Structure 1
């Protein structure tokens, strides 16, 4: 395995290799017997549908390696991952909560938000947490981008976050977890690893912190990767971000079950 952060060789997955073979076969079939074009076109369309479905499944490894759980070496640990920040109001309160529980977390930050609030990113690092790449602008059409646009978007965040945090990210999480077959070659070239999650709280949509916590704790086990949000955070009836009460409950339960918290960076570096 390459050293973390170093570019690595991209190897197509069986699905991507199969789709390429279907395209080549369809072209050869059409050239040899033009009347077979409906069958050739049908095969190409089916392969595109399969690739699209794989990209719409955030936890899929069909388009490339995807961290959905920590490696076995993590033992009795879980990872708390926090997306869409930094937020100048919510993130400092999340940091205080993590300090209270002596927990470490991984913050997937948006580049343009980090540029707007560099002091918050600096506080994340100073308090022992990791900063990783969640794209430069968190575009809703991220999964529709081509390879050049993907590289520009991700590399811009690498530069921004690396300068502010003092170390370039080792992990990338796609906006909403959605992606396409062009993403993995870009990540390999930039030395990044794709990370999704084991379970999520849907805390950008749900204003009930207890429900968010139940979703995260249902079946919680060692090596799980949990997803919550400090950016775009839903609020409860009193206007408090639900991440605060939900994460407090989760961290208490994890401690009771003997589960420690680690950052993804710690898990890959060892």
Structure 2
């Protein structure tokens, strides 16, 4: 698939060629519309399909023949739910990755500290996770990254390596903002949709039906029924020979 810089260059070259041809033959308005619309469709696809790597590199899975996978949790920490998730992970000796929202850490510093002390990876998921985050100017996005990094690092005394975009949406603004940071951007290959669906059986089926080696699974640790989903998912992996490993180990 074409990437952002290449497709933008092709658009500019195409428009330039059409402008030159205008001196020799009439060029219909519809030709311009088709060229520009084609670019916009491609750009929109790249924005909403994080695995396309359209705007910048995103790791959504690992290439491995081992039956190893990694699990991640977005949007925490949640005072009511994250601790229960941590209990399950501790009982099963599983390390996960938590992509935390900066504002949710405030007042829940003890939970973040526990996440860190129990060996889990902590990633940046912006400070606000605003519905309008994708429309922010790059400078404002950068301030959100920095503020969340500072909160995490103050509590854990460790550098934040990983970042996951809110809603998995990417665009040129985010591309520009990320250039000033050394994040490894993480997507997913299995999405539970537990933030949207309320039917636990459907969520469990969604995350288990096509599970394969190298998958990165996305859950939310603010989903009220995550205990049920997580316990059944872990049971499924054990019964089917999968091993849940940390993101660092999966990406080795």
Q: Which of the five TM-score ranges fits, normalised by the shorter chain?
A: 0.7 to 0.9
Residue in 1 aligned with 2:185? 194
Residue in 1 aligned with 2:110? 119
Does residue 256 in structure 1 map to residue 239 in structure 2? yes
Check conservation: 2:102, 2:127, Cα contact below 8 A.
yes
Which of 156, 162, 168 is 1:165 aligned to?
156
Residue in 2 aligned with 1:5? none
Q: Distance in 2 between matches of 1:182 and 1:71?
A: 29
Shift of 1:105: 0.7
Shift of 1:16: 2.8
Shift of 1:186: 3.3
- Secondary structure, aligned partner of 2:52: coil
Question: Residue by residue, what CA displacement relative to the aligned partner does 1:87-124 show, whole Å, maximum 9, x if unpaired?
Answer: 01100010001111111110010011113311110010
Does residue 59 in structure 1 map to residue 51 in structure 2? yes
Which of 132, 150, 153 is 2:144 aligned to?
153
Shift of 1:25: 4.1
Check conservation: 2:88, 2:231, Cα contact below 8 A.
yes
Question: Residue by residue, what CA displacement relative to the aligned partner does 1:120-155 show, whole Å, maximum 9, x if unpaired?
Answer: 100101111110011111011222233223222223
Q: Distance in 2 between matches of 1:45 and 1:148?
A: 29
Off by >6 Å, runs of 4+ in structure 1: none
Check conservation: 1:131, 1:165, Cα contact below 8 A.
no
Q: Distance in 2 between matches of 1:150 and 1:31?
A: 39
- Secondary structure, aligned partner of 2:75: strand
Q: Distance in 1 between matches of 2:12 and 2:155?
A: 44
Q: Distance in 1 between matches of 2:96 and 2:109?
A: 18
- Secondary structure, aligned partner of 2:51: coil
TM-score (normalizing by structure 2): 0.87
Check conservation: 1:142, 1:178, Cα contact below 8 A.
no
Measured at CA, do residues 242 and 26 of structure 1 come closer, stay the same or move farther in structure 2, by a change above 3 Å? Answer: same
Shift of 1:24: 4.6
Q: CA RMSD in A?
A: 2.3
